[in-house]
């Protein structure tokens, strides 16, 4: 089992014994280096694997089917960034339960018994696809819930999980910019495999969330390790890159999607036979990317140095 995975969810759902109160107490984990030496912040919003028992019992799906929505093991895969001087924040809750890579209004009101006590964006294409803040379906298109949820459920998940995660990530970004004058968010994900899927998809919202140099440096770092890299298609970046990608304010964000076939048995949601080799290649790419000169991404820093 890969280092860093504490629960290694088993097919019998043993890890779902974690109570919701415990999850709300620790909705995320922040892994910090002894000294932050680079202006990068890594985030893993979809690798959480602590399932509230009530959620598993009320779902119409098997535990393994729920787990297939995870970006499984992405947090330990990117943990080499911490050894290189960058903090990493990882959600503890699973993506099927709450998706923090969505805007806070992206709720499907039809999933709830009564009116929600906040404005919702029912026209969002992600909501229409069943993939809002509280997803209606897993990636295979299967419905998650047996019945409608209470309106209180939406408010509680926002207050207990969603907002604390985003507050912690924003704090890391603010700290990083205060230290270095620039902050770079790397939002870490995995994608289902398919015959035509590249190894890595880099998303900067078509140049909106980061300077071209960041995209170029990331592409070169992954390509140098033999990965086939695509830009923005089919994943251009989600809410995290939209929120933190502000190049005009010396804040940049890049989404990284890795093909699950490279490291995962997608049926069992267990590490595949190539996990260790892939982990080593990914770590080398991360180390290369972290060597990027931050002053080149912040014109004010560059001018001050001159």
User: Taking the domains of the chain in order of start, what are their residue ranges?
Assistant: 14-305
Mean pLDDT, residues 280-290: 98
Enter the pTM of the model: 0.91
Residue 21, pLDDT > 70, answer: yes
Residue 270 backbone phi and psi in degrees, to 5: -125, 155
Name the pLDDT band for 3 (thresholds 50, 70, 90): very low
Per-residue pLDDT at 299: 67
Quote the CA–CA distance of 96 and 18 in Å, as a whole number: 16
Name the pLDDT band for 12 (thresholds 50, 70, 90): very low
Mean pLDDT, residues 254-268: 97
Name the pLDDT band for 301 (thresholds 50, 70, 90): low
Q: What is the mean pLDDT of the chain?
A: 91
Per-residue pLDDT at 141: 87
pLDDT in tens, 198-231: 999 999 999 999 999 999 999 999 999 999 999 9
Residue 199 Cα distances to 38, 279, 290, angstroms: 26, 13, 20
- The alpha carbons of the chain give a radius of gyration, in whole angstroms, of 19
Per-residue pLDDT at 24: 86
Q: Are 43 and 256 in contact (CB under 8 A)?
A: no
Residue 6, pLDDT > 80, answer: no
Q: Which residue bears the tokens 């924003």?
A: 170
pLDDT in tens, 37-73: 999 999 999 999 999 989 998 999 999 999 999 999 9
Mean pLDDT, residues 111-123: 93
Q: What share of the chain in percent tops pLDDT 90?
A: 83
Per-residue pLDDT at 14: 43
Which is more confident, 129 or 15? 129
Quote the CA–CA distance of 280 and 207 in Å, as a whole number: 29
Mean pLDDT, residues 244-255: 97
Q: What is the 3-state secondary structure (H, E, C) of the chain?
A: CCCCCCCCCCCCCHHHHCCHHHHHHCCEEEECCCCCCCCEEEEECCCCCCCCHHHHHHECCCHHHHHCCCCCCHHHHCCHHHHCCCCEEEECCCCCCCCCCCCCCCCCHHHECCCCCCCCCCCCHHHHCCCCCCCCECCCCCECECCCECHHHHHHHHHHHHHHHHHHHHHHHHHHHHHHCCEEEEEEEEECCCCCCCCEEEECCCCCCCCHHHHHHHHHHHHCCCCCEEECCCCCCCHHHHHHCEHHHCEEEEEEEEEHHHCEECCCCEECCCHHHHHHHHHHHHHHHHCCCHHHHCHHHHHHHC
User: Does CATH place domain 14-305 in 3.40.630.40?
Assistant: yes
Per-residue pLDDT at 155: 96
Beta strands 183-191 and 251-259: pairing type?
parallel
Quote the CA–CA distance of 134 and 55 in Å, as a whole number: 12
Q: What share of the chain in percent tops pLDDT 70?
A: 91
């Amino acid at each position: 089992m890969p280092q860093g995975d504490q629960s290694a969810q088993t097919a019998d759902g043993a890890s779902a014994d974690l109570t919701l109160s415990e999850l709300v107490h620790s909705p995320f984990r922040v892994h910090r280096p002894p000294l932050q030496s680079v202006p990068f912040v890594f985030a893993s919003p979809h690798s959480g694997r602590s399932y509230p028992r009530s959620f598993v019992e009320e779902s119409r799906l098997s535990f393994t089917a729920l787990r297939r929505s995870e970006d499984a093991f992405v947090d330990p895969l990117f943990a080499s960034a911490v050894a290189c001087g960058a903090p990493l924040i990882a959600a503890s809750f699973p993506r099927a339960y709450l998706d923090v890579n969505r805007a806070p209004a992206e709720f499907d009101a039809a999933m709830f018994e009564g009116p929600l006590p906040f404005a919702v964006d029912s026209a969002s294409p992600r909501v229409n696809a069943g993939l809002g803040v509280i997803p209606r379906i897993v990636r295979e298109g299967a419905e998650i819930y047996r019945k409608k949820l209470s309106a209180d459920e939406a408010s509680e998940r926002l207050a207990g999980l969603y907002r604390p995660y985003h507050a912690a990530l924003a704090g890391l970004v603010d700290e990083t910019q205060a230290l270095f004058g620039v902050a770079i968010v790397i939002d870490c994900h995995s994608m289902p495999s398919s015959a035509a899927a590249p190894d890595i998809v880099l998303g900067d919202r078509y140049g909106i969330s980061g300077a071209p140099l960041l995209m170029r440096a990331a592409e070169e770092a992954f390509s140098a390790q033999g990965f086939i890299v695509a830009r923005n298609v089919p994943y251009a970046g989600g809410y995290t890159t939209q929120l933190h990608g502000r190049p005009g304010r010396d804040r940049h964000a890049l989404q990284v999607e890795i093909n699950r076939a490279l490291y995962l048995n997608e049926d069992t949601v267990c590490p595949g036979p190539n996990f260790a080799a892939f982990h080593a290649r990914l770590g080398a790419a991360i180390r290369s990317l972290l060597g990027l000169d931050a002053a080149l991404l912040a014109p004010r820093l560059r001018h001050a140095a001159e």
